[in-house]
Amino acid sequence: RRAMAVLRVRHCRALLYCRRAPPRCPACGGDLRAAGLAAAPVRLPCPFRHGHGQPRAFLIRPTRGTFLEGYDGHSDLHVGITNSKGVVYNYDQEGVHRAASGWEQCISIPLVQPDMAELLQHWDELLEEFSLEEAWLPHRYEEQQHNCYTFALAFVNRVRQGRGRQPLSKAQFTERFLLPRTREASRYLTLHQELAHSDFYIVPLPEQEQDS
Nearest to 1 by CA among 192, 186, 180, 198: 192
Grade residue 28 by pLDDT with cuts at 50, 70 and 90: confident
Q: What pLDDT score was predicted for residue 148?
A: 98
pLDDT band at 42 (very low <50, low <70, confident <90, very high): very high
- Model confidence pLDDT, tens digit, residues 1-14: 455 789 999 988 89
Decide: residue 131, CB within 10 A, 0-12 exposed, 13-18 middle, 19+ buried. Answer: buried
Query: How deeply is 34 buried, as exposed, middle or buried, from its count of CB atoms within 10 A (0-12, 13-18, 19+)?
Result: exposed
Q: Assess whether pLDDT exceeds 80 at residue 50.
A: yes
Q: Give the burial class of 99: count Cβ atoms within 10 A of its Cβ; 0-12 exposed, 13-18 middle, 19 or more buried.
A: middle
pLDDT tens-digit series, residues 161-190: 998 999 999 999 999 999 999 999 999 999
Question: Where residue 209 falls among pLDDT bands split at 50, 70, 90?
Answer: low
| Each residue's pLDDT tens digit, 126-172 | 999 999 999 999 999 999 999 999 999 999 999 999 989 999 999 99
Q: Give the pLDDT confidence score for residue 208 in this predicted structure.
A: 57
Bridge-based pairing state of the strands 77-82 and 88-92: antiparallel
